[in-house]
A and B are shown apart, each in its own frame.
Chain A
Amino acid sequence: MIRVTDLMKSHDKFPILNGVSLTVKRGEFAAIIGPSGGGKSTLLRCINGLEPFQGGAIAVGDDLNLQGGTLPSKETLLHLRRRVGFVFQQFNLFPHMTALQNVMSGPVYSLGLAKAGAEAKAKALLDRVGLSARMHARPAELSGGQQQRVAIARALAVNPSAILFDEPTSALDPQMAAEVLAVIRDLARDGDRTTIVVTHDMDFAAKAQTLFVMEAGRVLWSGPPGERGNGETP
């Protein structure tokens, strides 16, 4: 469960998040849409502890809490990030590692797992995103869509109970975007992993269980996608 309460964040007095509240239940597949500059990406980054915020609170599960205006402890941040995976718009794969090494990097360097075990699991994940044939390729040798699928496998490798996608297909052409979205939808069907996707793709957002519409640092509308009228498109 991820619960955001009255989140306030500004940058140089310019408000970015202006009292955002939302709750995504465990295992739920949520999509956030809205115009650029509405604070969607910033919200995700706050949930993962990549950005500090001035007011409000974020709770992940029963025991992890971030309070506005206070710096979370190192332990809290580490636990938070191991529980909440993150997939970036620009992939951010590690260019000096192969696809397989990228996927293994979390289990080995964050969780301290043995390489042999991590490798078996990483291979399975690459297989799941359809890239087992390219596991020894370096990022530079992969297409954008392939890179993003490796990035998804990498995020999953640390067994997060939630995964955040920050405009995962914005940097991709439609063909590749479709591949990546198919993978995300497939993963969202997994039992109890919470999924939040920030996206511009309306068709994709329509397949989420819950839809949040953000604009000017606030949640304007939330509910099942089917209940939202066409005229309300921001």
Chain B
Amino acid sequence: MIDVRRQFALLLVLFLPAVAAAQEKPEELRWGTDPTGGAPYIFQKDGSPEYVGFEVEIAEYLAAKIGRQPVMVSGDWSNNPQQLEKSRDVEKGMDIILNGYELRKDMCEKYAVTRPYYIYRLALLARKDNQDLLGWTDLLPREGRKKKTVCVLGASVAEQYIKNTFPQGVDLSSNADVANVLKLVNDRRLDATVQDNPAATYFTEEYPDLQIAGELVNPGYYVIYYRKGDAALGKALDDAIASGVRDGTFERILRKYGLWNGDQERLHYWLEKAWPPFDVEAEKDKNAERINPWPRMMRELLRAALVTIKLSFASFPLAMLLGLLVALVRVYGPWWLAFPAGLYVEVIRGTPLLLQLFMVFYLLPTVVPGLGEVLTPFVAGVVGLAINYSAYEAENYRAGLQAIPRGQMEAALALGMTPSTAIRRVIVPQAVRIVIPPVTNDFIALFKDTSACSVILVTELTRKYNELFNFNRDYIVELAFITAGLYLLMSYPLALVARSLERRMGAGKGGHR
């Protein structure tokens, strides 16, 4: 018997390390974030692939505290909350979102929320030499003065704040990439941006010509959102936050990034109080009583749809003209012109529209000084779309030109026309008729591609949809269908016009044998 027990004990000793090893790998804490938000939240320092930042350190601290392995999951800032609606096991699945997400009533209705880990305020950033923008009151409308151009992070409290506080005096746009926006303010292409104080503090060091104009306003809380079903996780996180605040770890992390200030003392205060500081259920009821948001949302969507229409109708004629010129040069020009024209088509066709828009809006003005004045977001959008589609139109026209029988040119020359007159009066009018169907097709495609302009601060339909659903997450499905419906409503008549045009022009076809 003793032998048996000894053997059992031996077995136990042998197996224990294996059991322990299996337990050694703790569960993951998948935290959703958007690294494009940049310093000091989360960024790469001096070209190192490692991410650093105060939120990285807080995430690592919290994960360690609750015995989990932190795994950073990057996504688009304004879309990350959507990931909490899916299972954590999907690709890019998240347990929590932690990236300067502000405490918002509408968010609390959908997601569970932790206590705050930072208290921020909004800062107005402008150039030091901008005498017209020294504080918030300069954003108020004033007779005979142009609206201030202000860009903010899309779906942020800053966006909401500007919209509600300065509905008249500000030409507001939004963008996901804070670093780009700051550069535009620095280059005088935007008047100002509104950022949370951590970003503002960091960027005034990065750009010495920028300053925080006026005081910091509208304090708010950075919190972590998680699924409403994950109560145990939430409790563990709240406990971890409490110990981080109490044992001075948060203060140490925040001081390291120059973010500690008097406001942060309030973190202690909120550990003792009910959280969140409002009744989510009561707010929900209040919401239901609130005025119907649809008239306002429809107005905003329609206004954005108008921008989409303007973009399309301004850029496509340019694309057609440019495309025709390129095609003429390729078909009839001397080789030293035809060759670069062919290269142009291949390069433009072979690179993404999004990249071209970036180049036109962000890079071109740095290469050609003075261009920044002209290249407003709208103009840059028109130019980028026109260039992109000119390559496709050039190929359409080239096919059209080559489809004209040789006898047409000979007949025109035999009448004594110069080659250029023959091209203008005889060849091109016929080629244009031939290519109506593919060209119309491209126009409809361009119509939808205008949505890419949202990356260069143009508030067109897709951008507006994004903006609206971020603050009205209850209507996310309705808004998506309405936006899609608006696109269809605009592009379908185009298809009809094209078809009738084709029929009418078709009368001139034929006659070739």
Instruction: Give residues in A with beta carbon < 8 Å to B.
Output: 48, 50, 74, 77-78, 81-82, 85-86, 88, 90-96, 105-106, 109-111, 138-140, 147, 151, 154-155, 158, 171
- A151–B513 Cα gap in the complex (Å)? 14
Indicate if the CB atoms of B417 and A109 lie closer than 8 Å.
yes
Given A109-B421, A109-B425, are A95 and B509 neighbors across the interface (CB < 8 Å)? yes
Indicate if the CB atoms of A96 and B508 lie closer than 8 Å.
yes
- A74–B422 Cα gap in the complex (Å)? 14
Indicate if the CB atoms of A48 and B414 lie closer than 8 Å.
yes
Whole-angstrom distance between the Cβ of B430 and the nearest chain A Cβ: 5
Indicate if the CB atoms of B407 and A90 lie closer than 8 Å.
yes
- Out of B405, B407, B425, B511, which one reaches A147, CB within 8 Å? B511
Whole-angstrom distance between the Cβ of B361 and the nearest chain A Cβ: 40
Indicate if the CB atoms of B418 and A78 lie closer than 8 Å.
yes
Q: Which A residue's beta carbon lies closest to that of B407?
A: A92
Indicate if the CB atoms of A78 and B416 lie closer than 8 Å.
yes
Interface string of B98-119 (1 = CB under 8 A from A): 0000000000000000000000
Given A86-B414, A140-B509, A147-B511, 18 other A-B contacts at CB below 8 A?
Answer: A50-B413, A81-B414, A85-B415, A88-B414, A92-B411, A95-B511, A95-B512, A96-B429, A96-B433, A105-B426, A106-B416, A109-B412, A110-B417, A138-B510, A139-B510, A140-B510, A151-B411, A171-B513
Could you pull out 10 A-B pairs where Cβ atoms are within 8 angstroms? A74-B418, A81-B414, A81-B415, A92-B411, A93-B411, A96-B429, A109-B421, A109-B425, A158-B415, A171-B513
Given A92-B411, A96-B430, are A82 and B416 neighbors across the interface (CB < 8 Å)? yes
* B409-468 CB contacts (< 8 Å) to partner A: 410-418, 421, 425-426, 429-430, 433
Instruction: Give residues in B with beta carbon < 8 Å to A.
Output: 405, 407-408, 410-418, 421, 425-426, 429-430, 433, 507-513
- Out of B405, B410, B425, B510, which one reaches A105, CB within 8 Å? B425
Indicate if the CB atoms of B507 and A138 lie closer than 8 Å.
yes
Residues of B within 8 A of A88 (CB): 407, 410-411, 414
Residues of B within 8 A of A86 (CB): 411, 414
Indicate if the CB atoms of A110 and B410 lie closer than 8 Å.
no
Indicate if the CB atoms of A90 and B416 lie closer than 8 Å.
no
- A5–B433 Cα gap in the complex (Å)? 44
Residues of A within 8 A of B507 (CB): 138, 140
- Out of A90, A110, A139, which one reaches B415, CB within 8 Å? A110
Residues of A within 8 A of B410 (CB): 50, 88, 92
Whole-angstrom distance between the Cβ of B414 and the nearest chain A Cβ: 4
- A151–B407 Cα gap in the complex (Å)? 13
Residues of B within 8 A of A147 (CB): 511
Residues of B within 8 A of A110 (CB): 415-417, 421
Given A88-B407, A92-B407, A109-B421, are A138 and B414 neighbors across the interface (CB < 8 Å)? no
- A91–B405 Cα gap in the complex (Å)? 12
Q: Which B residue's beta carbon lies closest to that of A49?
A: B413
Whole-angstrom distance between the Cβ of A213 and the nearest chain B Cβ: 26
Whole-angstrom distance between the Cβ of A214 and the nearest chain B Cβ: 21
- A139–B413 Cα gap in the complex (Å)? 19
- A50–B412 Cα gap in the complex (Å)? 11
Whole-angstrom distance between the Cβ of B512 and the nearest chain A Cβ: 6
Indicate if the CB atoms of B511 and A139 lie closer than 8 Å.
yes
Q: Which B residue's beta carbon lies closest to that of A48?
A: B414
Residues of A within 8 A of B513 (CB): 90-91, 171
Indicate if the CB atoms of A105 and B415 lie closer than 8 Å.
yes
Indicate if the CB atoms of A95 and B510 lie closer than 8 Å.
yes
- A93–B414 Cα gap in the complex (Å)? 12
Indicate if the CB atoms of A95 and B508 lie closer than 8 Å.
yes
Whole-angstrom distance between the Cβ of A171 and the nearest chain B Cβ: 7
Residues of A within 8 A of B405 (CB): 92
Residues of A within 8 A of B417 (CB): 105-106, 109-110
Indicate if the CB atoms of B415 and A106 lie closer than 8 Å.
yes
- A82–B408 Cα gap in the complex (Å)? 17
Whole-angstrom distance between the Cβ of A99 and the nearest chain B Cβ: 11
Whole-angstrom distance between the Cβ of B435 and the nearest chain A Cβ: 13
- A110–B433 Cα gap in the complex (Å)? 23
Q: Which A residue's beta carbon lies closest to that of B422?
A: A109
- A92–B414 Cα gap in the complex (Å)? 11
Indicate if the CB atoms of A93 and B416 lie closer than 8 Å.
no
Residues of B within 8 A of A109 (CB): 412, 415, 417, 421, 425
- A115–B411 Cα gap in the complex (Å)? 20
- A82–B416 Cα gap in the complex (Å)? 5
Q: Which B residue's beta carbon lies closest to that of A51?
A: B410
Residues of A within 8 A of B429 (CB): 96
Closest 3 CB pairs of A and B: A95-B511, A140-B510, A139-B511
Indicate if the CB atoms of A111 and B414 lie closer than 8 Å.
no
Residues of A within 8 A of B421 (CB): 109-110
Residues of B within 8 A of A81 (CB): 413-416
Residues of A within 8 A of B425 (CB): 105, 109
Residues of B within 8 A of A140 (CB): 507, 509-511
